[in-house]
Chains A and B, each alone.
Chain A
Amino acid sequence: MRVSTQMQFSLSVRTVNQRQSELLRTQEQIATGRRINSFAEDPVASRKVLREQANLRQVESGRRTSGDAQLLLENAESALIGVADALQRAYELNIQLANDSFDAPQRRSGADEIRQIREQILSLANTERNGRYLFSGLGNTADPFQLDGTFNGDAGRLTVPVSRNTTVDATVAGGEPFLDAAGGRNTLESLAELEDALRANDSVQINAMIDEMLGTLERSTAARQQIGQRLQRLEFVDDVLARTELAANATLAVERDTDISEAVIRLRESESGLQAALAITGRLDDLSLLNFI
């Protein structure tokens, strides 16, 4: 093929340009640590990168909401421990004072202690955390319980999204640890009844209350177990979140981040390519007929 002067030079210029742009791109990849910086460079990988970033954001928001749920559940758990202790004491008092060897004044002082237990349980049943009543159900406007046992709450429970398509109950159903499933007296009403019976020195009614008091204790324990199970479930959710995070970061590293050792080798190649292209351009001058005539 006949070679014109312009061909020689334009080839050199083109090669040098090409090598320089390769070099610049590799430099950029090494300096930023990113293999791709925009959609046009690799659309498929870019989409994966954004997808994994979305997954990471979901992990982040899951950690936050599951933290909120955990706080509510732990507070409910410790409230129910207090409730169980108090009900245990009420149950023991009930059994003790059912014995007819106790006279009316002794039973009256027992009634006073039951009164205190009622107030203690009322305050625990109305516990509030983060502006939310733990045992009021979904509605959250006023104290769910009153001392006489009136319940203002509802049967709902707060369900919180914690990871992809997964939700966790952050509360038990409203009033559940205190309400009788069979529709009988709730814990506060039972305690009021016991207090009245003690004050009235009504041996028959005092004796009759023993089973009911055991029932209130069991209800609170059952609710506590339920909460324990939910806390366990949250730990499991944390594991899932950690695994998602690990997988997302691994994909990001592959799709987005520069493989430094590969990039450095490429940098060397581009460098020597550029050197060769420059050297050839310099030689063109020597290879002219002008140098021989």
Chain B
Amino acid sequence: MVLFDIMYLGQNALFANQTGVRTTSENIANVNTPGFSRREAVFRTAAASSFGGLRLGQGVRVETTRRILDGALNARARRQNSIAEGSTARANVLARADIAFGDLEGGGASAALDDFFESLDILAASPQDQTARTNVLATAGRLTETLNGYGRELRLLREELNAEIRAEVSEVNRLGAEVADLNSRITQSAQPSNDLLDRRDQLIAEIAQRSGLQTIEQDNGLVTVVLEGGHTLVAGNEVQELVVVANGPLVDITAGDGGVERDLTDDIRSGSLGGILRARDEDLAATQTAVDDFVTTFATEFNARHQAGFGLDGLGGRDFFALPSPGASSAEFLRLDPGLSNDTLAAASDPTLINGDNTNALSLAALRTDAVVSGQEPGDALRGLLQDFGDRAFSSEAASQADGFAAQQLTELQQSISGVSIDEEMANLLRFQQSFAASATIIRTADELTQDIIALKR
């Protein structure tokens, strides 16, 4: 009976267009949801059936609703996002350090060194003057304190990252566990749920913000997540968690990979975790070494010159600075020699002329322009290492902007494919609404035709 068939066809159309409205509504509702890929109801013509030798179509079927996305583009955007997050995290850490040493207005070690050398010039001009001696000790005290501050700040900046590393690692573990859970739920359902797939993609993107990674998608729908450096974080419904272990005052990241413990600290170099590790183990570590080396060389040279002279008590061979024992940071633990006083400050070279001789003070003051620290004047060497640090902070900020821009562009490209456009959805809504109304008309028409036939009987 063709008439009933028309009604059936109308019903199919009604259902299909309802699904269209439903899908459109879902898209509109999720316009601001991160990680949501817009959906599209996939229509196809229903299989034809025979009526009196005719092959007539059965209308429309909704095959599925599919997510609209470009997997390769997503992977690429995710990779670039890892890089951008890494650059930003590194730049943020270095910006904190910049506040500690970037002083250009006279509060830094360069200014303290200038003060110290000025006090030595004054001592050389008036070696007999007790206030000149007191002044040398005072400026030397300020110089050591400023250098101690640099050493301490660099150590603390690195140690303070422990908490951030722990937080990021536990977040990676949590996200990994959720991906593993979704993996098992996705393989259980026959028809892949778009929501679960979206959610899993979003979780993987969030892991990627913390560490660079690669995904391997299997035929059964499982996704394996492999972190930078080769550690498999998620395999099937199993997560192999990262572990934070103490390494002296700092922390390292390890993971048990199939029973083999491996250190990932030097492997993770992108994502916010990678950025933090890079800032800690490359930038700040290099600056720390440079500051320590500077202090060691400078204090050793100064001590050698000081030992050659004689104090007001006629004795010589004494140190001016006290360097810590090897292994400790010379910047953080540099002190003035505990025995140092106005009387032991060695301005004289001739032990018989101790009260008026300034020859050794001249040699101490001349250190200002002697190229004794890696072939440079001490002030230039100090400013050089500050500049090296500044270069790192500056380039990390520039990289953060450039990488962020590239990531933004890829995200936009991704959005251009998968993002919801309200205008488009409104147009679709109108289209489905009209088609729905037309489908309803089909049913009414079929009904009227049926009524007409029933009326024949009266």
Residues of A at under 8 Å CB distance from B? 1-7, 10-11, 14, 34, 36-44, 46-47, 49-51, 53-54, 57-58, 60-62, 64-65, 68-69, 130-133, 136-141, 154, 156, 158-161, 164-165, 167, 170, 256, 288-290, 293
Contact B31 A5 (CB under 8 A): yes
Which one of B125, B366, B368 contacts A160 once the chains associate, using CB atoms below 8 Å? B125
Q: Which residue of B lies closest to A47 (CB)?
A: B387
Prevailing SS type, chain B contact patch: helix
Q: How large is the interface on B (under 10, 10 to 19, 20 to 34, 35 or more residues)?
A: 35 or more
Q: Complex: how many Å from CA A131 to CA B129?
A: 7
Contact A53 B353 (CB under 8 A): no
Q: Complex: how many Å from CA A42 to CA B391?
A: 8
Which one of A10, A138, A290 contacts B426 once the chains associate, using CB atoms below 8 Å? A290
Which one of A4, A138, A159, A165 contacts B350 once the chains associate, using CB atoms below 8 Å? A138
Q: Complex: how many Å from CA A132 to CA B357?
A: 11
Which residues 377-428 of B have a CB within 8 angstroms of A? 379-380, 383-384, 386-391, 393-394, 397, 408, 412, 415-424, 426-427
Q: In the assembled complex, which residues on chain A have CB atoms less than 8 Å from the CB atom of B74?
A: none
Contact B383 A130 (CB under 8 A): no
Q: In the assembled complex, which residues on chain B have CB atoms less than 8 Å from the CB atom of A62?
A: 121
Contact B356 A4 (CB under 8 A): no
The 6 closest A-B pairs by CB, nearest first: A4-B419, A140-B356, A38-B102, A39-B390, A43-B390, A40-B393
Q: In the assembled complex, which residues on chain A have CB atoms less than 8 Å from the CB atom of B153?
A: none
Known: A6-B415, A47-B384. A161 touches B366 (CB 8 A): yes
A218 to chain B, nearest CB (A): 28
Contact B128 A132 (CB under 8 A): yes
Contact A47 B386 (CB under 8 A): yes
Interface assignment of B430: CB less than 8 Å from any CB of chain A: yes
Q: Complex: how many Å from CA A281 to CA B324?
A: 60
Which segment, of B54-62, B112-120, B164-172, faces chain A?
B112-120
Q: Complex: how many Å from CA A196 to CA B436?
A: 142
Which residues 331-363 of B have a CB within 8 angstroms of A? 348, 350, 352-353, 355-359, 362
Contact B98 A38 (CB under 8 A): yes
Which one of A7, A37, A39, A65 contacts B122 once the chains associate, using CB atoms below 8 Å? A65
Contact B362 A53 (CB under 8 A): no
Contact B357 A289 (CB under 8 A): no
Residues of B at under 8 Å CB distance from A? 31-32, 38, 94-95, 98-99, 101-104, 106, 108, 110-111, 113-115, 117-118, 121-122, 124-126, 128-129, 348, 350, 352-353, 355-359, 362, 365-366, 368-369, 379-380, 383-384, 386-391, 393-394, 397, 408, 412, 415-424, 426-427, 430
Known: A39-B102, A50-B386, A51-B380. A7 touches B415 (CB 8 A): yes
Contact B384 A158 (CB under 8 A): no
Contact A38 B103 (CB under 8 A): yes
Q: Which residue of A lies closest to B130 (CB)?
A: A131
Contact A54 B379 (CB under 8 A): yes
Contact A160 B124 (CB under 8 A): yes
Known: A4-B421, A65-B124, A132-B128. A37 touches B416 (CB 8 A): no
Q: Which residue of B lies closest to A167 (CB)?
A: B362
Which one of A37, A44, A138 contacts B104 once the chains associate, using CB atoms below 8 Å? A37
Which one of A4, A38, A64 contacts B121 once the chains associate, using CB atoms below 8 Å? A64
Known: A50-B108, A53-B111, A65-B125. A159 touches B358 (CB 8 A): yes
Q: Complex: how many Å from CA A184 to CA B384?
A: 58
Q: In the assembled complex, which residues on chain A have CB atoms less than 8 Å from the CB atom of B386?
A: 39, 46-47, 50
Q: In the assembled complex, which residues on chain B have CB atoms less than 8 Å from the CB atom of A141?
A: 355-356
Q: Complex: how many Å from CA A11 to CA B408?
A: 10
Known: A5-B422, A140-B128. A53 touches B106 (CB 8 A): yes
Q: Complex: how many Å from CA A65 to CA B309?
A: 21
Enumerate 20 A-B pairs (CB-CB under 8 Å) in ascending A order.
Answer: A4-B416, A4-B418, A10-B412, A38-B98, A47-B384, A50-B383, A54-B379, A58-B114, A64-B118, A64-B121, A64-B122, A65-B122, A132-B356, A139-B350, A139-B352, A158-B358, A161-B125, A165-B369, A288-B426, A293-B426
Which residue, of B108, B128, B408, B417, has the highest number of chain A Cβ atoms within 10 A? B128
B414 to chain A, nearest CB (A): 10
Contact B387 A44 (CB under 8 A): yes
Contact B128 A131 (CB under 8 A): yes
Q: Which residue of B lies closest to A292 (CB)?
A: B426
Q: Which residue of A lies closest to B353 (CB)?
A: A139
Known: A40-B393, A131-B129. A139 touches B365 (CB 8 A): no
Which one of A39, A164, A170, A256 contacts B125 once the chains associate, using CB atoms below 8 Å? A170
Q: Which residue of B lies closest to A66 (CB)?
A: B125
Contact B104 A61 (CB under 8 A): no
Q: In the assembled complex, which residues on chain B have CB atoms less than 8 Å from the CB atom of A290?
A: 422, 426
Q: Which residue of A lies closest to B357 (CB)?
A: A138
Which one of A1, A39, A138, A161 contacts B393 once the chains associate, using CB atoms below 8 Å? A39
Which one of A38, A47, A51, A132 contacts B126 once the chains associate, using CB atoms below 8 Å? A132
A2 to chain B, nearest CB (A): 5
Q: Complex: how many Å from CA A61 to CA B94?
A: 35
Q: Complex: how many Å from CA A197 to CA B38?
A: 124
Contact B353 A156 (CB under 8 A): yes
Contact B126 A46 (CB under 8 A): no
Known: A64-B121, A131-B129. A43 touches B391 (CB 8 A): yes
